[in-house]
Amino acid sequence: MSERRGVFITFEGGEGCGKSTQAARLLSRLRAAQVDALEVREPGGTPAGDRVRGLLLDPAMAGLDPLAELLLYEASRAQHVSAVIEPALAAGRVVVCDRFADSSLAYQGYGRGLDLAMVRSLNRIATYGLVPDLTLLLDVQPAEGVRRATHGGADRLESEEIAFHERVRNGFVCIRESEPARVRMLNADTLDHVESVVWRLVEPLLRDRGMMV
């Protein structure tokens, strides 16, 4: 096992912001630079988490109680952190995660209206106190993001009214304003431009940690 702890990078943003694409592109760049990297996503990342993901995104689950929704996300997250993310970081790997605890604060806190202090508390419990080293927040106007995301059909969250997605975006903006050193907000315009900006933010971090020469 490596004596040097790895680096935890998360991608956040509303529906259709392109974070999954950018996470995959970052992973390709890291591997090209011979950096030992792992790409994961939430909810999911473990057999149990993948089953929870199917439930949470199923359009047939419309009307799910907001607190029940939050607790399902947190259960998936706790298993993900303990079984996958933390062991990878302990082994000195770079972990690139598509969504993490900030999404619960934005979606279930700001979006659903659950108590923000409660969501933060449950996030701390489910993550075992793990905080990303860098969070890349991809920003897109909700109407445009939903249009992109639902081109081939909509899951349960994508099907929410636009006012919900606007509250979620506001939540992400508030998170960014409260933690500007960790959360970097990028305009999710063209794929290649975003990829370039992401790399300019990630590369110095890895060099400072001695993970790139």
The rounded distance, in Å, linking the Cα atoms of 137 and 53 is 21
Whether omega before 87 lies within 30 degrees of 0, making that bond cis, reads no
Q: Which domains does the chain have, with CATH numbers?
A: 7-208 (3.40.50.300)
The rounded distance, in Å, linking the Cα atoms of 71 and 177 is 26
How far is residue 35 CA from its own chain's centroid?
21
pLDDT, residue 184, reads: 98
Q: What is the pLDDT along the chain (213 residues), one digit of tens a residue?
A: 457 899 999 999 999 899 999 999 999 999 999 999 999 999 999 999 999 999 998 988 888 999 999 999 999 999 999 999 999 999 999 999 999 999 999 999 999 999 999 999 999 999 999 999 999 999 999 888 888 888 777 788 888 899 999 999 999 999 999 999 999 999 987 889 999 999 999 999 999 999 986
pLDDT, residue 1, reads: 44
pTM of the full structure: 0.94
pLDDT, residue 149, reads: 80
Single out the residue of 88, 87, 90, 85 nearest to residue 5, CA to CA. Answer: 90
